[in-house]
A and B are shown apart, each in its own frame.
Chain A
Amino acid sequence: MKAEERLVIRPAHIQQLIDSLIRRGYRVKGPVVRNEAVVYDDLSSLEDLPIGWTDEQGGGRYRLRRRDDEALFGYSLGPRTWKVFLHPPERRLWKAERNGRGFRIIEEEERPPLFAFIGVRPCELHAISILDRVLAGGEFVDPSYRARREGLFVVVANCGEAGGTCFCSSMDTGPAAASGFDIALTEVVTAEDHYLLAEAGTGKGAEVLGETGGVRPGEAEITAARKTVEEAAARMGRSMTGSDLKDLLYRSYEHPRWDDVARRCLTCGNCTMVCPTCFCTTVEDRTEITGGTAERWQRADSCFSAEFSYIHGGSIRSSPKARYRHWIMHKLAAWVDQFGRSGCVGCGRCITWCPVGIDITEEVGAIRKNGVRGSDREGEG
């Protein structure tokens, strides 16, 4: 990145950023506080941002808390991921209309909005690039995803805080983004100063950034921004490492830990809903009561339901154990074979939003502890 593509902007300049994107025709989405959580939704003004809020997170726990400063991006991650805009949880695929004994199919003339996302965390940026591979990188392409994805403008907010369940630094997906954004912001809040170091990653990004009224950064400002991110990395309490993870898991289909986690897992599917890369869908047919028109919808689906693997005769994965195992196996092992990299970005949402606090890093750690069938009897009376 060339130095002139970096600017220091003040919190108030974010308004110019939003305005400039709206002027260009973007539908701007970003973090807002709703129902006691930070979620991503429409953003029209600086005041919509979660100014002065942060979150406390742990296994099965999420609370918003006031900060003692006015940070714009001082929270870590909420339950909603950007996939709700790029790969909507519900989408009509087409309609069919009866005509006489036959029917005709009316294709969707979908013109999705041109999105600009503000406040994309580095781990989430990796999640989007993973979805690119899954939904738009193979032999078949999801046309809706591609249409939504193609014009996307991304403003990253590098992390100055490590969330309570984050482990991105061990997954090599954060807490700072190296590429793949139009603009990346690093917010620095000290007792004396509050600014954002903004870096343009594309020509389009540089153009938009140029309209915000920022100034050239000094060496001290660049150093402080770097240190903020480094500190976030150092404060991360969890990790999940190992280039051997795929092979380790493939060897562990019969590991006793799956029985252990199955006793805790409620198979509610929360983890798959909050996961930024879980992409599975099902289809649903809806018929108008008179039977004149029928619609086919695509809906988000979860591998935690027994229906998910149903073939005539029964469900392939009928036990909770098999379903949990499938999820981890897919995310951390099979994904590598299917799409060339792990499906996990270390955002920690599945830990936070699991009602019983199952921790993927802990489960993997337990499997790593060379388990032999019948040997794992701790905690059983």
Chain B
Amino acid sequence: MSTAFMMREADDRDPMVPRLFKVRRKWREARDIFTIELSPDEGTHPFSAGQFNMLYLFGTGEVPISISGDPARPEVLLHTIRTLGAVTRALQRLKTDDLVGVRGPFGNPWPVDEAEGGDVVLVAGGLGLAPLRPVLYTLLARRRSYGRIALLYGARKPEDLLFKRELERWRGRFDLDVEITVDIATGDWLGNVGVVTKLIPGVPFDPLSSVAMVCGPEVMMRFTVKELLRHGLAEERIFLSMERNMKCGLGLCGHCQFGPLFVCRDGPVFQYSRIKELFRVREI
């Protein structure tokens, strides 16, 4: 039977087989969040800001985790992980030199190149800062290619804030607006209290030249988009990172469908104008 019409050429590697990486370091970011640094014994693992890997732990399982490190340093892989289930709890217990299986990187990146020449607004909610950090590294490394850069970051409580030392460093820069807010705080917190959308009116950006990249829980992204639109940003200039149940990372297992899109293959970063209809539908 003729099969020439569609079938793709064989490729050497089975995309379901992980590559083994060693744990180099691991540190705590917040109460239930840690960062793990992995590297292969040889070679590098190039990735783009916004991509994710599937991390496999011997006998326990596999989880999709976005990459939180610097794309300019492909010799190390950073993943910032919340301990939620069996696999993430086991990842947290790993020690230096233990092995982790890695498949990836998968997915479409943030539009870092496309944003050149204009202002960039990053809006992160909770753990959503992790997949945006690679963007910030890239923007700062190519600082002169961009206009104003703002990072607006919302978390639940002051103690839940990620990357605290880096946040302090970034806040000290004159070429970067960093605004942080928490939903609830007690007396010793001198920062903002309120939702992250409240920070948007406070940063100056040119809606006609800006690109916004938003990552956080879906509800937070919906409210953020509404506020960005109210400030004159076009739908095409807003990018979101979506989350669905990703099992294969290849668009073959069907799990991560979001309407007609496979989040693993067509996303996780989407232009808002492309998904706005789906964004409104419940349980899609």
Contact = CB atoms under 8 A, between A and B. Distances in A.
Contact of B259 (A101, A180, A334): A334
Contacts of B247: 281-283
B67 interface: no
A303 B58 contact: no
Given A101-B98, A287-B59, A319-B283, A180 B255 contact: no
Nearest to B87: A285
B261 to A, nearest CB: 8
B141 interface: no
A150 interface: yes
A169 B7 CA distance: 27
Instruction: Sort chain A's interface into a size bin.
Output: 35 or more
Contacts of B2: 179-180, 201-202
Please tell me the size bucket of the interface on B: 35 or more
Contact of A322 (B8, B84, B282): B282
Contact of A107 (B14, B244, B255): B14
A98 B254 contact: no
Nearest to A138: B251
Contacts of A318: 283
Interface stretch (A128-136, A158-166, A362-370): A128-136
Contact of B244 (A294, A303, A316): A316
Given A334-B260, A338-B262, A280 B59 contact: no
Given A98-B58, A136-B8, A105 B282 contact: no
A242 interface: no
B11 interface: yes
B263 to A, nearest CB: 10
Interface in B58-74: 58-62
Contact of A281 (B61, B98, B252, B283): B252
A138 B283 contact: no
A182 interface: yes
Interface stretch (A75-83, A304-312, A346-354): A304-312
B253 A282 contact: yes
Interface of B: 1-3, 5-8, 10-11, 14-18, 20, 56, 58-62, 82, 84-85, 97-99, 101, 243-245, 247-248, 250-255, 257, 259-260, 262, 265, 277, 281-284
5 contacts: A93-B17, A141-B8, A181-B1, A182-B1, A281-B247
5 closest A-B pairs by beta carbon, nearest first, are: A280-B254, A322-B283, A294-B59, A334-B260, A140-B250
